[in-house]
A and B are shown apart, each in its own frame.
Chain A
Amino acid sequence: MKSQITDKQFKRITRRELLKLTPVLALGAFAIPALQKPLLKAGLGFSDWVSAKMFRTGHLAPTFADSELTPFPKFPINGYDVADPGIDFDKWNLTVSGAVRKPGDYILAQVQTLPKFNQNTRHICVEGWDVIGNFGGVHLSDFLKMVGADMTARFVYVECADDYYETLDMETALHPQTMLCYEMYDQPLTREHGAPLRLTIPTKVGYKQAKYLTDLKVTNVLQRVGYWEDQGYSYFYGL
């Protein structure tokens, strides 16, 4: 049995059905200049929140055989401004501050007293390229223990010789593969790769892995987040 309606009734039904789709127009908010920035910021913030939730402290990034390594000369150098900020290695030290029991200036030899480890891990740039490198250094978590850091603090903030700066969440800072790196391919770190001390973090994208460290601060409050983050890149960017 087919129901019968009038032309008018049909028009009323179809109009109502069409109007039900008006929520689609809400997407137009992204086209309004005044709303676009905050909306995209919220979207990126949501992605960062999900990323932090997805991050598993015990889950290790894949490691690779020596035969899979990218040859050292083909390991790209992506400094944001200079390849060599002109550090005087003899005078260099890492200034530790913030929520730590033993603040002060740490020289490389002090860092090197901690147990050394090596790993072949994938380095992924936000641009899309990736290489597998060999890195040697110490666990950042060991160093944080050495300086008596408050592990319940939220952030590990670092500054660099070339006025680059970065912030790590404490969970990532304590991850077993997060490294204070002073060697690549069994050789002391070269200047363009961040000598004398850099971060390598196989669970983060490249720009989080700051080079030529000069300052490290354990803190709950941030004046600024990171060189790229403060221009609109993702803060967490966990891989």
Chain B
Amino acid sequence: MSTQAIAIENAKAGEVSEAVYEHPFLVRLCHWVNAVALFVMIGSGLQIFRAFPSFGAKIPQKDLINWPESFAIGGWLGGALQWHLTFMWIYIATGLVYIGYQIFSGNYKQVLFVRRNLPGVWPMVRYYFFFGPKPPVREAYNPLQKHAYTSAIGLGVLSVLTGFAVWKPVQFSWLAWMMGGFHWARLWHFLIMWAILAFVFGHLVMVVLHGWNNFVSMLTGWKKNPEYLPK
């Protein structure tokens, strides 16, 4: 199990601290590569959307929203498609390696939200948003965190499936059909992007709130003196 703690002796200060290897190498690698890919996918996706910023008919066309080009990647539709159709493979590859690794290593237990975690969600929400008491920290991820990560991975899978339905609505006509047709697949693809953005926003806020030691653990894998270790 990766949550095996080690003791670190600092002879000079005469202190002993502890550390846990929380994030295995492949998880960290996939996390960062996927983060870059997601950034490019969203940026280029917004540029692609600018070509037809609507979900209705082309004639008459009612534009939904037209954000500035500075929020987008690619500069023009053709350029954005190059970015999108290149980074989608990186996005998919990191997703597959990540999910595959989590399953085969058993490390998924650290992340996967299961029914047992359900009662712990509300106390965490109360603590974060309504000044409730802090629930005891028992493992690397609290129930709300597991819920967020599991949802994010689910959204990632959905973003790929809806993307394929938009890119290949003939070869994957069953996929497009399941989503209510090409029209709807495009809308789902768009809405899932916003859901992922909502996750990313919450994720970044939490990273800032939890400080440097927590952030560094996603770089080195090691977390010093995690709260859940018995004192």
Chain A residues with CB under 8 Å of chain B are 2-7, 9-10, 13-15, 17-18, 20-21, 23-24, 27, 30, 39-44, 46-47, 51, 54-56, 59, 61-62, 70, 73-76, 122, 124-131, 202-203, 228, 231-234, 238-239
Contact = CB atoms under 8 A, between A and B. Distances in A.
Given A5-B8, A14-B222, A18-B219, A203 B33 contact: no
A4 B9 contact: yes
B158 interface: no
B166 to A, nearest CB: 8
A73 B185 CA distance: 25
A75 B57 CA distance: 10
Chain B interface size range: 35 or more
A196 B191 CA distance: 41
Interface of chain A: mostly helix, strand, loop or mixed? mixed
A39 B89 CA distance: 13
Contact of B78 (A13, A70, A128, A233): A233
Contacts, number: 148
A59 B169 CA distance: 12
Given A7-B11, A129-B58, 11 more contacts: A7-B9, A10-B8, A14-B220, A17-B222, A43-B82, A43-B87, A47-B85, A59-B171, A128-B49, A234-B85, A239-B171
Contact of A74 (B6, B59, B79, B87): B59
Contacts of B222: 10, 13-14, 17
B58 A76 contact: yes
Contact of A127 (B10, B52, B59, B219): B52
B174 to A, nearest CB: 10
Contacts of A231: 78
A40 B29 contact: no
B86 A239 contact: no
Contacts of B29: 20-21, 23-24
B171 A54 contact: yes
Given A4-B6, A14-B222, A21-B32, A126 B85 contact: no
A122 B77 contact: no
Nearest to A75: B59
Contacts of B51: 126-128
A207 B199 CA distance: 36
A46 B170 contact: no
A62 B33 CA distance: 37
B214 interface: no
B230 to A, nearest CB: 11
B77 A126 contact: yes
B25 A20 contact: yes
A40 to B, nearest CB: 4
Contacts of A40: 79, 82-83, 86
